[in-house]
Structure 1
Amino acid sequence: MSPTYPSGRDVLRESVREQRRDVGLGALLASGHQVGEALVPVLIGVVIDRAVTGSDTGALLLWLGVLAVVYVGLALSFRFGAWAGDRSAVRAEHSLRISLVRRVLHPGGGAEDGRLPGALANIATEDAKRVGGVNTAVMYGIASLAGILTCAFVLLRTSVLLGLVVLLGTPVLLWLGHLLSKPLETRSEAEQERAAHASAVAADLVAGLRVLKGIGGESAAIDRYRTTSRDSLAATLKAARAQAFQSGMVLALTGCLIALVALVGGRLAAEGSISLGQLVSAVGLALFLVGPLETLAWVNAELAQGRASAGRVGEVLATPHGVTAGELSLPSEVRGALRLTGVSHGGLREVDLDVAPGELLGVVATDPAHATDLLRCLARRSDPDSGTVELDGVSLRDLDPAEMRTALLVAEHDADLFEGTVRDNVTASAPASGDSEPAMTAAGVAQVAQTLPDGEDTAVSERGRSLSGGQRQRVALARALAADRAVLVVHDPTTAVDAVTEAGIAAGLREVRKGRTTVLVTTSPALLAVTDRVVLLDGGRVTDTAPHADLIARHETYRAAVLA
């Protein structure tokens, strides 16, 4: 999407503009279909006046042939017009979905703040589909207007009064239909909001199913989802009632207009102002009007729902980035010197920390929230409220987040795996010329592979649910090690493995990261024992720093955090 900060109207306008060729082609062909449909009753009237009334067999055959040609033309126009319209809708939906995914995955972040993953997925699927469908609605709307104008032109040629009834009645009908679509737009927006929330809650429950079973929280989770689902159902029913009311009222108004055309045409025929064939044509055109007028009512409903969905899409696309790109670049060779100066963010208070190039540093936070705040600053998912974080003397604020992450990787505790094989997950971010075997050995993935049916080529299901918690952690750690970044920050990578395996991973991690900067944010004694030194974060401040053994011996708070 071209607008940098789009509104809902921008989203709709851009969606149609990008597919203007298909929309134009579809509208042209669909208009040909509607014009052909309008000509059918006209040709029937001509057959009656010129062939049936005068018993002219030649004229009858001639006009029946013309009628057959018109039928073939309108059938082909409908077929290829519908194809072009559907293609425009699908392409617009795809383009919009790509834009949403690109925004969510943007290095600057921000789109996911305050939105559950399920809600974002709903916007990228259902809302994108509704916005894409506006292209089809525009196409059919243009075609319906073409049919109505053709009908009005023919009726004007037959009788000015009949033509004026259609020309004046149609705009009034369209205006009333637009007014009736307003409640539908509001309720459709509420419907999509509730549906997205229900989808998000369901996704969270599925993701945390094992934990819920472990703590016996299934009933509370079910109650929560039931409440959310009922809210979504209530919103859907309100939207359905609004749509039914709008469709019913427009259909009733359409019937009134058609009845008026038939009444005026009947009176003109009775007065002798028009012929029998013209009366048949007028009545046929009145019946034909049902189609395009019903289509316009449907178009109004589609536009109302499309505007509501476009507003939700626009909100995601317009979300400001969490961090902005700076103008500086990293040195050609990153040494890996990391420095925090006076960093305050969340629970962190004036944190000063220097990590030398090649150092293996442990960080113990007495409050897990403070560890999370530190990771957000190091990953540059948020900039500190005050203070600076520097890599090789360059402030992270002055770097492009994407470029920064080519040198500094933060591997968080809850990292997900992806569908594919075990090896595919490990090598997902590894350099093309890199060797992933040392990383897999260090993280203990070789042991995992021995227990799997196809070893490293065993398929992994979505989010790694086919693996145990310890297996997932080892594969995720191997992936982080295989990325071979100059600076690696790892958060609690071994909480789900046994003590013997953890000790092996600690030794392997030190070996594979030798000479490169590594920060272990953890309270694991096995991991902290292989670090060069450990920093203690207590109350959001750096209160002590020393080798692990020294802190164990002299610091009660450290002992409580690490050995409890």
Structure 2
Amino acid sequence: MQIRDLPYPDPGVPDARSGPRFLLWLGRNQLGGQLKSLAWGLLHFGAIAGLPYMVGVAVEAVLDRSGGRLALSGALIGLLGIAIAVGDTMLHRTAVTNWITAAARVQQLLARKTAALGSALTRRVAAGEVVAVSTGDVEKIGWFVEALSRFAAAALTVVLVCVGLVVYQPALGVIVAVGIPVLALAVLPLLPRATRRADFQREKAGRATELASDTVAGLRVLRGIGGEELFLDRYRSASQEVRTAAVRSARMWAVISAIQVLMPGLLLIAVVWQGVHLAREGRITVGELVTVYSAIMILNYPLRHFEEIAMAYSFSRPSAKRAARVLSLQRTAEPAGSRDAKVGGKEAGATGSGHVESGNAVSGDAGAGRAGAGRAGAGRAGERHDRFGLAGSTEALPSTDGSLTPTGDLYDPATGLLAPAGRLTAVVCGDPDEAGRLAERLGGHPAFDEAAGLPSVRLGDVPLDDLPLAAARTAVLVQDKDPILLSGTLRDLLDVPASGAVSPEEALDAAQCSDVLDALAQASVDDDPMAAHLTERGRSLSGGQRQRLALARSLVTDPEALVLDEPTSAVDSHTEARVADGIRHLRGGRTTVVLTSSPLLLDRAERVVFLADGEVTAVGAHRELVHSEPRYRAVVTRETDSERVAADTRADTHTLTDFDIEETA
């Protein structure tokens, strides 16, 4: 794989069981590049290792006054210089290629995992940690992959030089052969401590990055409440902790570097002392002494790569561990055939009231399991069909990946919520947090229900968890309460996978974006609002403008079922009424669920469902529920407890008065 071939058509399936296993998997996938880098490294280091011998030959030629041998040694030294230059250039080129391609592979894996998990990712891993893994950690992992081939070439060169010195001059070669392993292993006792300090530094840096990310994301709120100095002090404190940890880690690596300089110096002194003694006795020649001396001096260079690989591994191991943690996350899904819809210790199963006695329903095959899952919540499902005269559809539409996307009623067995096919259903939750959890479930990402064993949401008769991810996303689209707009032009924003049935102009009109288009046209060079640039997260727009553009993006997609979580919370009442009409008109014949407490949206919904304590407690029209359901009225009208008691008292008085009048008559 060359840099020009990036990105990878398929980055592969990583071994994310641990950090070292992930690094090993990366190395196996880069085997071709590693071998190429190793070959160039052997040429480079081998040529360097050959210089001492040729220098020794040249010294001997001078002493023997042999011009031919001197010229030959000079020519060979020149060839070795060319080999060193070529080998070094190609080694750097191939090593950096390994670094970049490894980093690109990790980034593609992280991007694919982020896309697969969606909003569930940041509920399991802090946003700052995701940022740290995608930036600094990727670089450190690439560094280790790059340094690995250089270290292997350096280690082989050291072994070959030691063996060559033993053969060339045994008296001194044995000293070198014994001393070099001692040099290489001298720093091993310090590596665990250095690794721990590096891990601690990475942990502190990750926390500081997370704090900075959260602070930037909430900067506008912090300014509104005057909390900038508080969070600035917190970041200063976290930054100082990172600095202190980095200094402590650097001190340990400085000690290791000092040992790497000291030990070869001691070995050199021992070899020179012994060599001079042997030369005075006439047991070795001056040229042989120069050769051994030069070899030890040159060995300092490959030995440096022992320190580098230790540092690279120490820094990349925690980074690989963090990356493996993110890559090991899975989209929550229960195995087909084992979905027993358990809600509050009971299963949504066989009784007409929607509750069954606790027990287990186990099926032996996937088909029966799906049938069991279809029967889970059958009481409520049957009740809703009887009540509304609806029939669940099992019709299917093509998905983006060629699979079939189911159509029909959107049904959540855990709460009993039914969104009839082709109708606009509004949902009011007694607890605001419950709306967010419900949106997660309806989107097929039940991150909050991972340990609860709750059954999958169904579209028609098909559980969403049984669908391929692409088909599930084609079937159901969820717009969060705080949607994110990416930087780019408005045309880029609306260029999303879509059915093609809704044009961008129709979506913008339904979302009442005319004022946004006018503002963007003024900011555009050629008065084209579609070419106007949107800043990151749409920060150049107001909250209501961002919300309406996000709504237009969702409407363009035109999914089989659209779930909107408070789509007009930042919009004024007049615009909100027009947006509600636009949604109802544009989504006619499509299943739409709006989680809201806005009376304007609720009044235009074809059906309103009220959820309290995790289950459906009332279904009807908005105006009916306002009069018949006190808890619904309290949520929608923001009615206080005293106002609710007064309203109930007035209702009771009115009833008694009517009764007294009838009795009197």
| Common fold by TM > 0.5 | yes
Name the residue aligned to 2:624: 550
CA 505–561 in structure 1, closer or farther in 2 if over 3 Å, else same = same
Offset of residue 372 of structure 1: 1.2
CA 470–268 in structure 1, closer or farther in 2 if over 3 Å, else same = same
CA 432–174 in structure 1, closer or farther in 2 if over 3 Å, else same = farther
Read off the aligned partner of 1:14 and give its amino acid letter. Answer: W
Q: Is the 1:178–1:300 contact (alpha carbons within 8 Å) kept by the matching residues of 2?
A: no
Give secondary structure in 2 for the equivalent of 1:251.
Answer: helix
Tell me how far apart the structure 1 counterparts of residues 226 and 545 of structure 2 sit (CA, whole Å). 24
Tell me how far apart the structure 1 counterparts of residues 296 and 317 of structure 2 sit (CA, whole Å). 32
Offset of residue 490 of structure 1: 0.3
- TM, length-normalised to structure 1: 0.93
Of 17, 31, 47, the match for 2:58: 47
Name the residue aligned to 2:465: 397
Offset of residue 109 of structure 1: 7.6
Q: Is the 2:608–2:620 contact (alpha carbons within 8 Å) kept by the matching residues of 1?
A: yes
Q: What does 1:107-126 align with in structure 2 at a 5 Å threshold?
A: 107=117, 111-126=121-136
Tell me how far apart the structure 1 counterparts of residues 300 and 22 of structure 2 sit (CA, whole Å). 32
Counterpart check, 1:336 vs 2:408: yes
CA 353–63 in structure 1, closer or farther in 2 if over 3 Å, else same = closer
Offset of residue 211 of structure 1: 1.4
Name the residue aligned to 1:33: 44
Name the residue aligned to 1:504: 578
Name the residue aligned to 1:251: 261
Of 481, 485, 488, the match for 2:559: 485
CA 121–498 in structure 1, closer or farther in 2 if over 3 Å, else same = same
Higher RCO, 1 vs 2 (CA within 8 Å, ≥6 residues apart) = 1
Name the residue aligned to 2:379: none
Name the residue aligned to 1:194: 204
Give secondary structure in 1 for the equivalent of 2:132.
Answer: helix
Q: Is the 1:158–1:274 contact (alpha carbons within 8 Å) kept by the matching residues of 2?
A: no
CA 256–431 in structure 1, closer or farther in 2 if over 3 Å, else same = farther
Deviations, residues 170-192 of structure 1 (Å, cap 9, x unaligned): 22332333332222222222222
Offset of residue 4 of structure 1: 4.7
Q: What does 1:97-108 align with in structure 2 at a 5 Å threshold?
A: 97-107=107-117
Q: Is the 1:325–1:401 contact (alpha carbons within 8 Å) kept by the matching residues of 2?
A: no
Deviations, residues 13-57 of structure 1 (Å, cap 9, x unaligned): 12222222222122221221112112212111111112x112233
Q: Which is worse superposed, 139-148 or 366-375?
A: 139-148
Read off the aligned partner of 2:431 and give its amino acid letter. Answer: D
Tell me how far apart the structure 1 counterparts of residues 503 and 102 of structure 2 sit (CA, whole Å). 41
Read off the aligned partner of 1:81 and give its amino acid letter. Answer: L
Offset of residue 519 of structure 1: 0.8
Q: What does 1:25-424 align with in structure 2 at a 5 Å threshold?
A: 25-50=36-61, 52-107=62-117, 111-323=121-333, 331-333=395-397, 334-341=406-413, 343=414, 351-382=415-446, 384=449, 385=452, 386-424=454-492
Deviations, residues 471-497 of structure 1 (Å, cap 9, x unaligned): 110010011111111111100111112
Superposed CA RMSD in Å reads 2.2
Offset of residue 113 of structure 1: 3.7
Q: Is the 1:487–1:518 contact (alpha carbons within 8 Å) kept by the matching residues of 2?
A: yes
Offset of residue 319 of structure 1: 2.8
Q: Is the 1:109–1:321 contact (alpha carbons within 8 Å) kept by the matching residues of 2?
A: no
Q: Which is worse superposed, 323-332 or 417-426?
A: 323-332
Tell me how far apart the structure 2 counterparts of residues 466 and 209 of structure 1 sit (CA, whole Å). 14
Offset of residue 370 of structure 1: 0.9
Name the residue aligned to 2:389: none
Q: Is the 1:364–1:537 contact (alpha carbons within 8 Å) kept by the matching residues of 2?
A: yes
Name the residue aligned to 1:465: 539
Deviations, residues 33-84 of structure 1 (Å, cap 9, x unaligned): 112112212111111112x112233332232122111111111111111111
CA 280–117 in structure 1, closer or farther in 2 if over 3 Å, else same = same
Q: Is the 1:407–1:486 contact (alpha carbons within 8 Å) kept by the matching residues of 2?
A: yes
Q: Which is worse superposed, 376-385 or 108-117?
A: 108-117
Tell me how far apart the structure 1 counterparts of residues 156 and 139 of structure 2 sit (CA, whole Å). 26
Offset of residue 366 of structure 1: 2.2
Give secondary structure in 2 for the equivalent of 1:336.
Answer: coil
Tell me how far apart the structure 1 counterparts of residues 63 and 457 of structure 2 sit (CA, whole Å). 94
Q: Is the 2:169–2:288 contact (alpha carbons within 8 Å) kept by the matching residues of 1?
A: no
CA 4–424 in structure 1, closer or farther in 2 if over 3 Å, else same = same
Read off the aligned partner of 2:305 and give its amino acid letter. Answer: T
Q: Is the 2:44–2:83 contact (alpha carbons within 8 Å) kept by the matching residues of 1?
A: yes
Read off the aligned partner of 2:295 and give its amino acid letter. Answer: L
Q: Which is worse superposed, 493-502 or 162-171?
A: 162-171
Of 573, 580, 597, the match for 1:523: 597
Tell me how far apart the structure 1 counterparts of residues 328 and 58 of structure 2 sit (CA, whole Å). 60
Read off the aligned partner of 2:410 and give its amino acid letter. Answer: L
Offset of residue 371 of structure 1: 0.8
Q: Which runs of 5+ in 2 are unaligned?
A: 1-11, 337-365, 371-393, 398-405, 639-665
Read off the aligned partner of 2:25 and give its amino acid letter. Answer: E
Tell me how far apart the structure 1 counterparts of residues 135 and 476 of structure 2 sit (CA, whole Å). 33
Query: Size of the alignment, in residue pairs?
Result: 555
Name the residue aligned to 1:21: 32
Offset of residue 304 of structure 1: 2.0
CA 110–433 in structure 1, closer or farther in 2 if over 3 Å, else same = closer
Give secondary structure in 2 for the equivalent of 1:105.
Answer: helix
Q: Is the 1:108–1:322 contact (alpha carbons within 8 Å) kept by the matching residues of 2?
A: no
Tell me how far apart the structure 2 counterparts of residues 316 and 340 of structure 1 sit (CA, whole Å). 29
CA 432–282 in structure 1, closer or farther in 2 if over 3 Å, else same = farther
Name the residue aligned to 2:548: 474
Offset of residue 3 of structure 1: 4.2
Q: Is the 2:444–2:457 contact (alpha carbons within 8 Å) kept by the matching residues of 1?
A: no
Tell me how far apart the structure 2 counterparts of residues 439 and 235 of structure 1 sit (CA, whole Å). 52
CA 315–335 in structure 1, closer or farther in 2 if over 3 Å, else same = closer
Q: Is the 2:498–2:559 contact (alpha carbons within 8 Å) kept by the matching residues of 1?
A: no
Name the residue aligned to 1:427: 495
CA 2–535 in structure 1, closer or farther in 2 if over 3 Å, else same = closer
Read off the aligned partner of 2:49 and give its amino acid letter. Answer: A
Q: Which is worse superposed, 285-294 or 552-561?
A: 552-561
Read off the aligned partner of 1:277 and give its amino acid letter. Answer: G
Name the residue aligned to 1:348: none
Give secondary structure in 1 for the equivalent of 2:484.
Answer: coil
Name the residue aligned to 1:347: none
Tell me how far apart the structure 2 counterparts of residues 31 and 451 of structure 1 sit (CA, whole Å). 63
Q: Which is worse superposed, 429-438 or 165-174?
A: 429-438
CA 164–319 in structure 1, closer or farther in 2 if over 3 Å, else same = farther
Tell me how far apart the structure 2 counterparts of residues 456 and 563 of structure 1 sit (CA, whole Å). 39
- TM, length-normalised to structure 2: 0.79
Deviations, residues 192-235 of structure 1 (Å, cap 9, x unaligned): 22212211221121111111111222122212222322232232
Tell me how far apart the structure 1 counterparts of residues 618 and 583 of structure 2 sit (CA, whole Å). 24
